[in-house]
């Protein structure tokens, strides 16, 4: 079987950056599962469907055919790499992610990402639901203030505007919805290692993950 490292945690905890760098260091594939929920949200918003309409959102998720190539994401021949990163789409993603049928529709896409020589997968339920057999599971957290600041810098680096107060509110709303939903709520797997990255640099966190992997 293909080895998988799962990294779960709340919004803007640094999972994506760390997962991608750890994957590069190990020569593993990288799965950004949040991007799939963001794609489902973007497609739902553009189709004009009501985000609380479960069957409609599920149908959209089932028909998603995203292409991941050279760190860019394509949907129906359109480059949506930037379009899925707005906070509006993030909030919409956490709405469609609460729909069990949407989660089911995206399950196989995620499982199929486990290809040799290995995979680093980041999200909310990678260790609890999608890859429960993973030998290394990490639950990454950071304080709300640190997370809001990291997300603001990320948005600004992409040339987007960042309103720190609104960001903090969005992150809190999203985290609450992700933790309180019935389907695959955000929580550490029983065998997950907890890592608070509030006072750590990216390099320190990557090293920690690789050290755990080599143990
Ligand atoms: O980048 P950020 O941490 O803000 O969010 P993301 O990882 O792109 O995920 C966006 C939203 O998708 C989350 O708020 C979750 O509601 C949902 N999600 C999920 O339910 N399960 C996953 N495995 C990944 C994301």
Q: Domain 4-209: what homologous superfamily?
A: P-loop containing nucleotide triphosphate hydrolases (3.40.50.300)
Beta-carbon count within 10 A of 103 CB = 24
Asked if residue 161 has pLDDT above 90, the reply is no
By most ligand atoms within 8 Å of CB, the mutation choice from 14, 36, 124 for ligand 1 is 124
Domain ranges of the chain: 4-209
Instruction: Give the model's pLDDT for residue 181.
Output: 95
Q: What is the tally of helices (H) and strands (E) in the chain?
A: 8, 8
ipTM surpassing 0.85: yes
Each residue of 103-117: pLDDT tens digit? 999 999 999 999 999
pLDDT at 158 exceeding the cut of 90: no
Confidence of residue 87 (pLDDT cuts 50, 70, 90): confident
Structure confidence at residue 160 (pLDDT) = 85
pLDDT at 70: 87
In this structure, is the dihedral angle defined by the CA atoms of residues 200, 203, 204 and 208, taken in order, positive or negative?
A: positive
Probe target for ligand 1 pocket from 93, 106, 181, with the most ligand atoms within 8 Å of CB: 93
Answer yes or no: is the C-beta of 127 below 6 A from any ligand 1 atom. Answer: no
For the ranges 83-87, 97-101, 161-165, the one whose mean pLDDT is highest: 97-101
What average pLDDT does the structure give for the chain? 95
| Averaged pLDDT, 56-84 | 95
> Are the C-beta atoms of residues 13 and 140 closer than 8 Å to each other?
yes
């Amino acid at each position: 079987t293909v080895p998988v490292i799962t990294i779960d945690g709340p919004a803007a905890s640094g999972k994506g950056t760390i997962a991608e760098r750890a994957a590069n260091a190990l020569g593993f594939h990288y799965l950004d599962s949040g991007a799939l929920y963001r794609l489902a949200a973007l497609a739902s918003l553009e189709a004009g469907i009501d985000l609380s309409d479960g069957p409609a959102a599920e149908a959209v998720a089932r028909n998603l055919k995203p292409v991941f190539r050279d760190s860019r994401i394509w949907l129906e021949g359109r480059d949506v790499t930037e379009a899925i990163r707005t906070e509006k789409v993030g909030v919409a993603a956490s709405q469609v992610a609460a729909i069990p049928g949407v989660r089911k529709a995206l399950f196989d896409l995620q499982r199929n990402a486990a290809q040799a020589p290995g995979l680093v997968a980041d999200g909310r339920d990678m260790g609890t639901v999608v890859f429960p057999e993973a030998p290394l599971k990490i639950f990454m957290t950071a304080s709300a203030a640190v997370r809001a600041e990291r997300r603001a810098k990320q948005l600004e680096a992409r040339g987007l505007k960042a309103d720190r107060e609104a960001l903090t509110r969005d992150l809190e709303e999203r985290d609450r919805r992700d933790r309180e939903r019935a389907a695959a709520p955000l929580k550490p797997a029983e065998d997950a290692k907890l890592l608070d990255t509030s006072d750590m640099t990216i390099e320190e966190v990557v090293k920690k993950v690789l050290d755990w992997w080599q143990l």
